[in-house]
Structure 1
Amino acid sequence: MQRRHLLLTALVAAPLAGLPLTAGAQAWPTRPIKLVVPFAPGGTTDIVARTVAEKIGASLGQTVVVENKAGGGGIIGADAVAKSAPDGYTLSMATVSTTAANPAINPKIPYNTITDFVPIINIAATPNVIAVHPSFPARNYKDFVAVLKKSPGRYSFASSGTGTIQHLQMELFKSLTGAFVTHIPYRGAGPALNDTVAGQVQMMFDNLPSSLPFIKDNRLIPIVVSAPQRLAVLPDVPTFKEVGLEPVNRMAYYGLLAPKGTPQAVVDKIHAATKAALEDADVRKRIEATGSLIVGNTPEQFAAQIKAEFEVYKKVVVQQKLALD
């Protein structure tokens, strides 16, 4: 009789034990959500995050607060999110740097890019550009390469940090062309861009959205872009594929990640809110005006994209024998 009583008690308690989780997922969110940008303000990651944050918050009924947490080429901010409670209240802006390039080159990275996050959505794909300060003695790709080869080590390039996509793509460019340029890493694209515009560094491999305003003002000169085809905003600038460097012709991505263990119901809500934000005409206009392409894929598609990109950069690191300084 006692055994039967215990069994009945367990059967009754089992569904009740699940109710708080279900109710919690249904009620979520009940407080503001933090969206961590793992780079300093002013870069493309920051631009995309702030463009969608307000609309995502409006759909969810809570404020989405953008927090910049720079350092380590994006590692510090990404790791902070990986170690956060999996409750949907702390999200990360995912970039190629934090999910593929940096993990590929840094064996001591404190998180596993494949297993420590739940991919939610890829918001946008963004072209990259090599741009130089107007004082640089070249205005086109052919002359650019000739100048670098003539004076190896004389010029420097800025990046958003060691191991970022800007760093690895420029290193790949160097290895394929035989040019030598000194790497100057910064704590984000914003500070790197500021010093390039100021002429303290001669060039930068940057995401187009953050550099484009300075290109339009003739404060930076675009040399070559990574994009499927020439861009409407830069019709006279060739792609890396056009100049014979197809391996470098890779676009950046900007998406959302949550810590592993985040309930699927919460992930679905964030995904739906982000999709709604990307359907807003003003948001689309602001993102597309930077030269970026709206993506808005599924969590499964974004997970496959991250894995594929990681494999590409891992291969680059091995083939080009790249290592952290």
Structure 2
Amino acid sequence: MNNFTYIAADTPKQAANIISQNPDAAFIAGGTNLIDLMKENIAKPNQLIDLNKIPGLDEITELPDAGLRLGALARNADTAYHPLVQERYPLLADAILAGASAQLRNMATNGGNLLQRTRCYYFYDIATPCNKREPGSGCAAYDGYNRMNAILGSSEHCVAVFPSDMCVALAALNATVNVSGATGERQIPFNEFHRLPGDTPQLDNNLQHGEIITSIDLPPGGLNKNYSYLKLRDRTSYAFALVSIATAFELKDGLIVDARIALGGVAHKPWRVTEAEEFLKNKQPAKESFTQAATLILKGAVGLKHNAFKIELAKRAIVRNCLTALNPDK
């Protein structure tokens, strides 16, 4: 681990001003991902800017429109067990509790969850080429052991997947990310926050250098009656998803009037296909319709040497999770 200086910021503006003057600085909150990256000599910040003393960013509050604001410094565990999250957005609570371990959830922050780096084996192995770690060096995973890697939205430059469970649910719930920087504040729709790799796989999201996530807004109507989060992995705990699915429906008079399906473990960002969701509207919730929606979602999927099985796995998992969402209490 390299040497670094440390400073604790008192406000988002102060934190943004400090980091905007130093391209090699990094924010630290829970540190559950950053410290690992530093230990492995993947991240080498020369300065850490601690955000934990900024007041108010750890709060979870109701919004005037009956939505909910999740503070960026609120811990994942506190978010998952918050009464309003469990009542109004149980899909999000279930997704958070499917991730990591209890110890990590007690430390990890909501903002940090959005910013975590891929867990691709080659990204963590500094002896191998990785365009995400070192742009232009190549993608060792493309022809390597790629069981955990992407089947959707990848490029020849990167086949990494985004590892978050929480973000899959946030994508399905149409969340909004509030950020603050030296030039002011802005809002980013959740589905525009993360990026596909394209020619710049080193860029995970659309934050500008110096911007800090302050909170995440959930719109009213959390689709809290018919929902399910399914995570398929090699072992039942402490493992990242091969495929995960966040599903939520609004049903009326026996028909689907709103449908949300987001996938994790398959792409560089949480994967949603609005065409599939629109297809399900005004249809009866039945296996046949869910199967057709799954086909639309996986359209264009490309398997690599070791992960082609994920295409069929994802299709079947979507159908299973849609059926589970019809009776979430069973």
Category of TM-score, reference length = shorter chain: under 0.3
* Greater fraction of residues in helix: 1
How high is the TM-score relative to the length of structure 2?
0.26
How high is the TM-score relative to the length of structure 1?
0.26
The structure with the largest alpha-carbon Rg is: 1
